[in-house]
Amino acid sequence: MYKRKLRGPLIEGDKTLGQITREVLNPMEVKPGKWWYIAMGLSLIATLFGVYAMYVTVTKGIGMWGVNNTVAWGWDIINFVWWIGIGHAGTAFSIFLLVLRQRWRTSINRSAEIMTVFAVLCAALFPTIHMGRVWNMFFLFPYPNTRGPLWVNFNSPLIWDFTAVSTYLLISASFWYLGTLPDLATVRDRTASKVKKAVYGFFSMGWTGSSRQWIRFESLAFVLGGITSVLVVSVHSIVSTDFAVGIEPGWHSTIFPPFFVVGAIFSGFAMVMTLMVIVRKIYRFTDYITDNHMDAIARILIFISLIMGTAYATEIFISWYSGSEYEIFTQFRNRITGDYYIQFWGMILCNAIIPQLFWFKKIRRNWIALLLISLCINLGMWFERYIIIVTSLSKDFLPSSWAPYTPTLIDVGVFMFTIGLFISGILLFLRYIPIMAVSELKGVLRIGDKKDD
Amino acid sequence: MTRSFKIGIFDDEERFIASVKTLHEKGFLIYDVFTPYPVHEIFNMLKRKTRLPTAAYFLGLTGAAATLGFLVWACVISWPIVYGGKPFNSFPSFVVITVVITILFVALGSLAVFSSAAKILPGRENTIFDLRSTDDRFVIVVETVAPDGSDAENAGNLMMKNGASEVVVKKIEKVIS
């Protein structure tokens, strides 16, 4: 139940239904501003640099990266885990809040879902090219082959990971597309251009908004939401088993699955905040994405930040309490102090300390502060994955095989490729697909007015 | 066969709901209603039901059984290999893939069920009675069958009385839905 008197309307400015359609679809109907072309140009340059890096990686091999025999996982797996974490935005935001019937999700869920789709695409790229021989990627599928048939190792976390990530990509893309169907139909029915009508007509798949379609639509959204909320928790848990099942000090720990899931939701929500602060500023959508919405995200972020702080403290405590000298060495000599202390303290500062500023209402209502803090969290989460992967690998049981790790320009290039892909994808989305779920906004317009809501 | 429809267009959700209610009570043949967002009162009134959750449940059962069955067959019967001294049939590690693939089964399966039940397919062109129904209008479509047109007139009057902004007649050769 949403108490309108207590919490205010979800959409401000006393809008009519037609006004919502016009205002939200407006960015698709007018030419985008200069900023759009500049941002698109920059992200395409980043992508081009990335294409070069990928070309070098594929033709010469992953020896072009900073990885070595000791630190066999470097930026590629760091970025993979980082992107997958961001990819939890859509599902955590959209689906958890759908299942919990939090109606304030309506103005943000669409962007969160599209971020998920692109982030998971970027993530999936890293393990793929990390294989070195990308053309043999199909070996990961358990297909009937002439070698026995020899199946993949179903007991390996890496196969679980492959299954989980590809399932996640398929389902989050379907969920996003399902949500856009009614809005694509709205565009189809409003436009005067024949080309647009044909294109959006094709992709809206015959949506009419009849009661027969709506009841099934809602039912399917709940079925998908209910079943996918399991996936929100399971995907990053499975990613964490890639580490936790190994015996490296600092990895071999039962805290990993919940710790990873919380971290993923943390970075996902932070990225949602980054994008929303920018979108509501540029498109002047403050009536739809109100200060209350940003406030609510900020509150969730403080809570998660506290969990992250507790998790870091727990890791340190347990490594001491375990009495294992390798665990103690990794935590105390190779993380808190040692070669990588800057990344470690950066992580603590960005993830556990800076977000505490959200306790202040003034900060929660200041868009520059929101933008900066959300960027800090994204940086902090990247540091976290760096700390987990590089410190554990670089100095483990045998001092003779210790090695330092520094990334190369090619590593940076591959990362740039994904960032360019992500940003240009988001820009295309802002231009060609309704930014907010128009039909859902209309549904919550008068929420709390009627008795049954 | 040409079918004729009386179409009432409403600006306001409450008047629209009231109108559907009276039309339904008086026994008019409501072909369907078209709204910009789901209106739950209508679902109960017109007794719209969906068996999608049931389908999803059975899809899930099928998916779980099929995946677990395949894993056991592949690892125990087809090509048994010892990994790290574990038994061939290592159920705990099969759980992970079973859960994930079950979810995939449910998701893709219910999408397919939705597609066939709600008539949603790429490029499909279902009949749209009024273009504004995806924007801000609530549309009631009453199918009229009486040869003298008496029910069309009555339905039209009723909808006007209930506050329709417009009432139109449409004759459609072939209704796709």
- Which has more pLDDT, A125 or A104? A125
Taking the CA of residue B64 and the nearest CA in chain A, the distance in Å comes to: 13
* Chain A residues in contact with B7 (beta carbon < 8 A): none
Q: Residue length, chain A? A: 453
Average pLDDT, chain A: 88
What are the tens digits of pLDDT across the range A327-369?
999 889 989 998 899 999 999 999 999 999 999 989 888 889 9
| Facing A209 at nearest CB: one of B35, B71, B81 | B35
* Chain A residues in contact with B124 (beta carbon < 8 A): 205-206
| Facing B134 at nearest CB: one of A178, A189, A218 | A189
A406, A66 in Cβ contact below 8 A?
Answer: yes
What are the tens digits of pLDDT across the range A145-198?
888 788 888 888 889 999 999 999 999 899 899 989 999 998 888 888 889 888
Cβ B100–A142 below 8 Å, yes or no? no
| Facing B34 at nearest CB: one of A148, A209, A224 | A209
Taking the CA of residue B92 and the nearest CA in chain A, the distance in Å comes to: 9
* 3 state DSSP class of A32: coil
What are the tens digits of pLDDT across the range A375-417?
999 999 999 999 999 998 999 899 999 998 889 999 999 999 9
A450 pLDDT band (50/70/90 cuts)? low
A370, A299 in Cβ contact below 8 A?
Answer: no
Chunk chain B into consecutive blocks of 10 residues (it has 177) and report each block's average pLDDT, rounded to whole numbers: 82 85 82 87 84 92 94 90 85 91 93 89 83 86 78 78 80 76
Best probe of the A interface among B5, B20, B37, B57, by most A CBs < 10 A, is B37
- Residue A217: closest C-alpha in chain B: B114
Tokens 């079973």 identify what position?
Answer: B98
Rg of the Cα atoms in chain A: 23
Cβ B96–A17 below 8 Å, yes or no? no
Cβ B132–A189 below 8 Å, yes or no? yes
The ipTM value here is: 0.91
Cβ B43–A189 below 8 Å, yes or no? no
The rounded distance, in Å, linking the Cα atoms of A371 and A276 is 9
Cβ A209–B104 below 8 Å, yes or no? no
Q: What is the pLDDT of residue A453?
A: 45
What are the φ/ψ torsions at residue A448 (nearest 5 degrees)? 90, -10
Q: What is the pLDDT of residue B163?
A: 80
Q: What is the pLDDT of residue B2?
A: 79
The rounded distance, in Å, linking the Cα atoms of A269 and A85 is 10
Question: Residue A146 has what DSSP assignment?
Answer: S
Sheet containing strand B138-144, strands side by side: B30-34, B138-144, B3-10, B166-172
Domains, chain B, ranges and CATH?
1-36+137-156+165-172 (3.30.70.790), 52-117 (no CATH)
- Considering the entire predicted model, what is its pTM? 0.90
Cβ B32–A153 below 8 Å, yes or no? no
* Chain A residues in contact with B84 (beta carbon < 8 A): 155
Assigned token pair, B173: 């050769």
* Nearest in space to A392 (alpha carbons), one of A407, A403, A382, A381: A403
The rounded distance, in Å, linking the Cα atoms of A229 and A265 is 12
The rounded distance, in Å, linking the Cα atoms of B18 and B34 is 15
Cβ B114–A227 below 8 Å, yes or no? no
What average pLDDT score do residues A272-285 get?
Answer: 89
The rounded distance, in Å, linking the Cα atoms of A312 and A255 is 10
Tokens 């540091």 identify what position?
Answer: A383
* 3 state DSSP class of B7: strand
Question: Is A299's pLDDT higher than 70?
Answer: yes
| Facing A215 at nearest CB: one of B48, B103, B108 | B48
The amino acid sitting at A75 is W
Q: What is the pLDDT of residue A37?
A: 93
Question: Residue A289 has what DSSP assignment?
Answer: S
Taking the CA of residue A429 and the nearest CA in chain B, the distance in Å comes to: 20
The rounded distance, in Å, linking the Cα atoms of B34 and B138 is 6
Best probe of the B interface among A151, A208, A227, A247, by most B CBs < 10 A, is A208
Cβ B114–A216 below 8 Å, yes or no? yes
Taking the CA of residue B151 and the nearest CA in chain A, the distance in Å comes to: 22
Question: Residue A246 has what DSSP assignment?
Answer: S
What are the tens digits of pLDDT across the range B125-151?
888 888 888 888 888 888 877 777 777
DSSP symbols for B88-112: SS-HHHHHHHHHHHHHHHHHHHHHH
Taking the CA of residue B50 and the nearest CA in chain A, the distance in Å comes to: 6
